[in-house]
Chains A and B, each alone.
Chain A
Amino acid sequence: MEIKAVDTRYKKVWDEIVDNSQNGTICHKWEWLGIMCKHSKAKQAGKSSGCRLYPLMGFVDDEAVAILPVFYYKTAFGLAFSPPVGVGITRLGPVLKNYGNQRQRKKERILEDFIKSANRFICTELKPSAINIKTSPGFDDPRPFIWSGYEVGPLFDYIFDLTLGEENLFSGIDKKTRQNINRGGRSGLKFSEGGKKDIEFIWETATNRYAEQDIDFSVTLEYLQDLYEKFPQNLKVFTVKEDGRIVNGSLDICYKDRVSLWIGNTKIENTNPTANDFLNWEIIRWACRNGYRSCENIWANDERLCAYKSKFNPVLSPYFSVEKNSFFYSLMKKLKYGLHR
């Protein structure tokens, strides 16, 4: 298979693969990649550096069959990441054309060929010290990465099957959370779709919350606004208001038949304590009523957060982390994070 880092002339072909594959996400779209690239910065040894996007495309007999967007950072150690860092995206990785509709043998053949070739391209052209890929949901076969020398581990999101219907979904929720939702409605919380002006509130509350917990949240407001302008159909702002004043909100992604809960719905001190549960449920309900088939609650890998998120009775949706590090890079990581892992 031939691998090329393609340019804008291939934008249409690229986006078609994303739209028609079972694991193409909105973040794989050509323009979204460009916006991420513009805003992503990797920090290492106190220095921050921008990245360069390598949109890798695999061709068989001149036909494009697969893509892998790679972001390269020229830091002290060269880093090749997919997704890029600091832009609030947890999954990206490879997408194969028509992946869901093929027989196993054919799927394997194309996938193995593509991963092997892409790996060769990254290792010989970019020569990074660390490669870090997180696959998107629906990509179900990480074996070719293992066979190309990567370490692969499982990661999870939560997902709701909206075809179960509003009533069944509601009765599945833990009793206390259901009571919270009802109490929220009775106490006068109002759910509505918001707009660009509300993004600042969502971003600010998220930033504050992360700062309280000493977590590095480097997503910038300009980045979110850039995305919102370019993808008005796919980004939705939802708000909860009390007495006409916004008390919580979230910025979420609608793509294909799925709604993905993304940024916001933060825990905010000194506001109506039922607002989080209320907002969460109202978005699920909104998704049901607007014909979506599934709703994702991204990131189910943090023990404390999972205890909260699981109360809504979602199911687990797996994806994979794929890593290959040079000897010195892994030594540095081990010294930083301890030797046991």
Chain B
Amino acid sequence: MKVEIKIAGKGDASEWDKIVDESPHGTLFHKWKWLRIMEKYSGAKLHCIMGTKGDELIGLYPIFVKKKFGFGFVFSPPPHLSVLYLGPVIANYEKMKQSRKESAFNNLQKEFEGFLSGNLKADYVNIMTPPNLMDSRPYFWNGYNVRLRFNYLNCISDENVFWSNMEKKLRQNISRAKREGVQVETGGPKEMRQIYSAMIRRYNEQNKRVKVPIEYLLDLQKEFSKNMRIYVALFNGEFVTGVIDLCYKNKISSWVGNPKSKLTSLNANDLVNWTSIEWGCKNGYKYYETMGAAGNERLHSYYSKFNPRLSVCYGATKYSSFLSKFFEFAYFRIVKPLEGGGGERVNGN
């Protein structure tokens, strides 16, 4: 039986979220409400695609569609919203044998391609796959150019082991920051604004612009307060730095923040991140992920002090014509840098 594509409506929200919760590919960014909030700020139209085979749900594919200068752009995730991966979620993946895994993903992708070219007339498609989806071949087989994307993943199931595996210098930094009186506290919308302002300041120093709107972050905070932990570091009662972390399933993801602080004598960011990891260990989380920084030549060595391992995702792009390839080149390489770039990386420092 053939896989069929349908667009999920409001009534499908709970089934959608159930698959996201169950599948190893499902992330917080795939959740129905998160997608809707992204749609609001992306300037693109969200299509929540469901692939079905008879009564069986094969997988989900959230995409954002934008028309610009007569070209059809398809993104998953949409750009400039600090989301580094989205892409497909295959249902029941872990329980399947390899041949079923492959046919499920291959068939979903093939129907998806038909939908993109037939219904959406897409000229440019950009998919960034979620963690735990090691198979990138369906993209290759469907004419995509596939690149690698990296995150750092720490196993935090044992606090003592984790602490002793960190670089000595990092452990000293953390202890010293604590001893000298840097305090780490959790916060809400107010602290979120503080972190945001600090990010803007840090980006300005580097002649870059923060593209994520604060209202978007605040909307998410309201809707996902249970999944979000906002940490700020204070020194003599003053805000120094902070980070917004996401907690979902068995993983804490260090998401937005960690700008280099003005307090240069003490490393408050190390203490902030350690506090989050320590909390994660005590509350039964298994993994701590640093999003984005691992792929960045300048930033990665700061985060590798925590002794993480590398986690690989994929960025798959496809052009319908030479013209759209040229257009994408012009837009991302020429127009965007003039606007000030940024947006790709969310972790500052």
Q: Give the B-binding residues of A (Cβ under 8 A).
A: 103-105, 108-109, 140-143, 146-147, 151-154, 156, 158, 172, 174, 300-301, 303, 306-307, 310-316, 318, 320, 339-341
Contacts and interface: CB of A to CB of B under 8 A. Distances in A.
Nearest to A154: B136
Nearest to B136: A154
A121 B300 CA distance: 25
Interface stretch (B22-30, B48-56, B308-316): B308-316
Given A153-B148, A318-B134, A340 B143 contact: yes
B147 interface: yes
B307 interface: yes
Interface in B125-151: 134-137, 140-141, 143, 145-148, 150
Given A105-B167, A143-B295, A316-B135, A153 B305 contact: no
Interface stretch (B1-9, B95-103, B193-201, B222-230): B95-103
B304 interface: yes
Given A108-B301, A141-B310, A341 B98 contact: no
A339 B301 contact: no
Q: Which 8 A-B pairs have the closest CB atoms?
A: A310-B99, A147-B297, A310-B98, A105-B304, A104-B304, A313-B98, A104-B307, A303-B141
Interface of B: 97-99, 102-103, 106, 134-137, 140-141, 143, 145-148, 150, 165, 167, 294-295, 297, 300-301, 304-310, 312, 314, 318-319, 322, 325
A47 B312 CA distance: 40
Contact of B98 (A303, A314, A339): A314
A153 B144 CA distance: 11
Q: Is the interface of A mostly helix, strand, loop or mixed?
A: mixed
Given A105-B304, A108-B304, A156-B137, A140 B148 contact: no
Given A104-B304, A340-B143, A172 B97 contact: yes
Contacts of B305: 105
Contacts of B140: 301
A311 B147 contact: no
A306 B102 CA distance: 9
Given A154-B314, A301-B140, A341-B143, A104 B309 contact: yes
B319 A340 contact: yes
B135 A311 contact: no
Contacts of A306: 102, 137
B150 A154 contact: no
Contacts of B295: 143, 146
Contacts of A341: 143, 145
A307 B97 contact: no
B98 A315 contact: yes
Contact of A174 (B97, B308, B312): B97
A103 B147 contact: no
A313 B148 contact: no
Given A153-B146, A301-B140, A103 B167 contact: yes
A293 to B, nearest CB: 19
Given A103-B167, A108-B300, 4 more contacts: A154-B312, A156-B135, A156-B137, A313-B99
Contacts of A141: 310
B99 A143 contact: no
Contacts of A105: 167, 301, 304-305, 307
B145 to A, nearest CB: 6
Contacts of B98: 158, 310, 312-316
A307 B100 CA distance: 10
B122 to A, nearest CB: 14
Contacts of B147: 151-153
A172 B310 CA distance: 29
Nearest to B320: A340
A142 B301 contact: no
Contacts of B314: 154
A313 B97 contact: yes
B309 A310 contact: no
18 contacts: A104-B304, A105-B301, A108-B304, A140-B309, A141-B310, A143-B297, A147-B297, A153-B147, A153-B148, A154-B312, A172-B97, A300-B137, A306-B102, A310-B102, A340-B318, A340-B319, A340-B325, A341-B143
Nearest to A308: B99
Contacts of A104: 304, 306-309
A91 B308 CA distance: 26
Nearest to A314: B98
B119 to A, nearest CB: 21
A303 B308 contact: no
Contacts of B97: 172, 174, 313
A142 B148 contact: yes
A124 B150 CA distance: 30
A303 B141 CA distance: 7
Contacts of A142: 148
A316 B308 contact: no
